[in-house]
Structure 1
């Protein structure tokens, strides 16, 4: 079983075990990730991630609310919350804690069915991540999943890994397109992937976020010059000595 199969298997188990049974619906204003990108031109999305899938780090004790506030005060434009509980040690209830910042919050998970999308809405997320590779593997209807998200007032970040997947993504109504520089089968990272895909597909009329492998301001500047509208960064922040200073450094590459 490769890593992607393991991620999908865990998602199915989490659904069956009731992890997404969030009955109460969050109240409060929505924050649009798309509008944030348009207003800023380029965004840094900082990630709440309790563990790295490659085992680079793991935080059993993390003050999510305090960390999210540090993100906001240090210049993050949005917050991604990894809620997958087994490999990434996430917690779905981290989402409302991140929402206290007032920043757009991305619900990041391996989403394969409606129940997960409704849970994202119920905990107050503003956007969800969908993954083309997962949809292809399970023969899911991406258009249907995106429509369900929009019905639940959620924006969609649709993640691709290669040129063919990006072409699929471009044919959907996803609000933001993501490029994952990490191979979900091997976990190997190559930030040149963002540049290759954008050069191959040409002009894109939607925001593009470069995900994974962004380590410093130079990497941010590189993907921005390649045409990305933002970066999503987790591991580099959590491996740094000062998460606030790291975010400020990353923002420096966005200028």
Structure 2
């Protein structure tokens, strides 16, 4: 599955390389970015990162009638600590433009995509995103270190995603501060909280940990909190609802 995503990003990388050669890369955003990590800490003991997700390989189209501006307003009003924004176009029907639109709600934004090349960090730094996603097993150790360095130098934060113990070991060695544990099996696309349960034993002080995939109920959120996670990332389970804001409020425990 990850190789399919890698192939889907090849055209974007080629375009960025062309822009660099022509000295036409976008300038970095000069404004103040809200802190992604501070937003999670402020919602302790459990923050909810709500995702704007229009489609996925496992679910197909998801609530395409809900635009990014409206969903951002719903999430901001319903207890989200931050918003994850899918920008991958081929499989998730995302767009980099959504970062500008959704930034108006004031919450920090995570660019969720398949970032493989240093110029994609430069591209992200030109947006109003506060953080970007790096998936350990899509990068070599050298690439991961370089992508993290560029991310930090650009004033962005990195959410570093792991699927198993080996991924976690590599993330820690590279100096990741925010670890995201993905409960999804990439071969079957099924989710299993046994992944989060197993990896939680390795959590180190001074790190922020996020649990992702398969979180559908308030009980699921509380289970991740009990394991020591600082946040959960939820996408499909709220985006598939007629009112994602209300669904988020129930998960966050802020529903009236």
Using the size of structure 1 for normalisation, the TM-score is 0.91
Q: Distance in 2 between matches of 1:19 and 1:117?
A: 12
The residue that corresponds to 1:37 in the other structure is 40
Q: Distance in 2 between matches of 1:10 and 1:130?
A: 16
Q: Is 1:124 paired with 2:128? A: yes
Q: Distance in 2 between matches of 1:178 and 1:218?
A: 19
Q: Choose which of 157, 168, 171 in structure 1 pairs with 2:173.
A: 171
Q: RMSD of the TM alignment (CA)?
A: 2.0
Using the size of structure 2 for normalisation, the TM-score is 0.90
Q: Is 1:93 paired with 2:91? A: no
- Which SS does the other structure have where 2:174 is aligned? coil
**CA apart distance, 1:94:** 0.2
- Which SS does the other structure have where 2:13 is aligned? helix
The residue that corresponds to 1:67 in the other structure is 71
The residue that corresponds to 1:78 in the other structure is 82
What do residues 194-236 of structure 1 show as CA deviations (whole Å, max 9, x unaligned)?
111112x254430000011111101100111011100001000
What do residues 133-185 of structure 1 show as CA deviations (whole Å, max 9, x unaligned)?
1114xx65211110000111100100000011111112222231100111233
- Which SS does the other structure have where 1:222 is aligned? helix
The residue that corresponds to 2:184 in the other structure is 182
Q: Is 1:6 paired with 2:9? A: no
- Higher deviation after alignment, 36-45 or 79-88: 36-45
Q: Distance in 2 between matches of 1:226 and 1:56?
A: 31
Q: Specify every segment of 5 or more residues in structure 2 that has no aligned partner in the other structure, as ranges.
A: 20-24
- Which SS does the other structure have where 1:86 is aligned? coil
CA contact (8 A) 2:39 2:81 kept: yes
Q: Distance in 2 between matches of 1:69 and 1:19?
A: 35
Q: Specify every segment of 5 or more residues in structure 1 that has no aligned partner in the other structure, as ranges.
A: none
> Residue 204 and residue 186 in structure 1: after superposition, are their counterparts in 2 closer, same or farther (change >3 A)?
farther
What do residues 35-62 of structure 1 show as CA deviations (whole Å, max 9, x unaligned)?
1122221210000111022135334443
Q: Distance in 2 between matches of 1:81 and 1:193?
A: 24
- Which SS does the other structure have where 1:220 is aligned? helix
Q: Distance in 2 between matches of 1:91 and 1:62?
A: 14
- Which SS does the other structure have where 2:58 is aligned? coil
> Residue 250 and residue 168 in structure 1: after superposition, are their counterparts in 2 closer, same or farther (change >3 A)?
same
CA contact (8 A) 2:40 2:82 kept: no
**CA apart distance, 1:19:** 11
Q: Which runs of 4+ in 1 moved over 6 A?
A: 19-22
- Which SS does the other structure have where 1:31 is aligned? coil
Which structure 2 residues correspond to residues 129-140 of structure 1 after superposition, within 5 A?
A: 129-136=133-140, 140=142
